[in-house]
């Protein structure tokens, strides 16, 4: 699974990695970095980085729930921001799928720092479930190889 995260350009740029997989829950980590600070006066990271963390974590919970890799583009992502992130601390995203239909997968997640019971944000997301043959191995391998360009 980490290899897939490493192959996604925005994960590579932001440094997003897998922290853990427990059952059908995926937890990823966005390391604090001054290059993603949205407000230099406070040191708080930009909301776009947090959105990326949640979207990616929810999206990558799909293959965990399915037990196989399937391309599943985001259809909808709704985030409720509950508090500002604290400067100089990593942010964790935890997500899990709660419903799978023939064409749509439903996921929910939270973002937190030192206490998962005090979330920075929570979200719900839906993903389109594309046919298995769309994830052609040669196409995926070609995309991974082109990351180094």
Q: What is the pLDDT of residues 89-99, one digit of tens each?
A: 999 999 999 99
Each residue of 48-84: pLDDT tens digit?
999 999 999 999 999 999 988 888 899 999 999 999 8
pLDDT score of 12: 75
CATH of the domain at 81: 3.10.129.10
Residue 138: how many CB atoms within 10 A of its CB? 7
Q: Which of 70-79, 118-127, 136-145 has the highest mean pLDDT?
A: 118-127
Cβ atoms of residues 107 and 77 within 8 Å = no
Q: Is residue 99 part of a domain?
A: yes
Tell me which residue range forms the domain holding 23.
2-143
Considering the domain boundaries, does residue 89 fall inside one? yes
Is the confidence at residue 106, as pLDDT, over 60?
yes
User: Could you tell me if residue 149 is inside a domain?
Assistant: no
For residue 144, pLDDT over 50 is answered with: no
C-alpha 98/C-alpha 117 separation (Å) is 20
Task: Check: CB of residue 110 under 8 Å from CB of residue 104.
Answer: no
Nearest-angstrom CA–CA distance, 122 and 102: 25
Q: How many domains does the chain have?
A: 1
User: pTM of the predicted model, to two decimals?
Assistant: 0.84
């Amino acid at each position: 699974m980490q290899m897939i995260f490493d192959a996604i350009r925005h994960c590579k740029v932001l440094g997003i990695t897998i922290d853990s997989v427990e059952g059908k829950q995926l937890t990823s980590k966005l390391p604090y970095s001054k290059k993603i600070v949205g407000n230099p006066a406070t040191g708080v990271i930009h909301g776009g980085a947090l959105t990326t963390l949640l979207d990616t974590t929810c999206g990558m919970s799909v293959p965990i729930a399915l037990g196989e890799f399937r391309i599943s583009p985001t259809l909808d992502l709704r985030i409720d921001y509950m508090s500002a992130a604290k400067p100089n601390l990593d942010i964790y995203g935890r997500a899990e799928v709660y419903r799978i239909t023939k064409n749509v997968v439903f996921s929910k997640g939270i973002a937190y720092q030192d206490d998962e019971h005090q979330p920075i944000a929570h979200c719900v997301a839906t993903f389109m479930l594309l046919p298995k043959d769309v994830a052609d191995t040669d196409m995926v391998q070609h995309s991974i190889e082109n990351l180094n360009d």
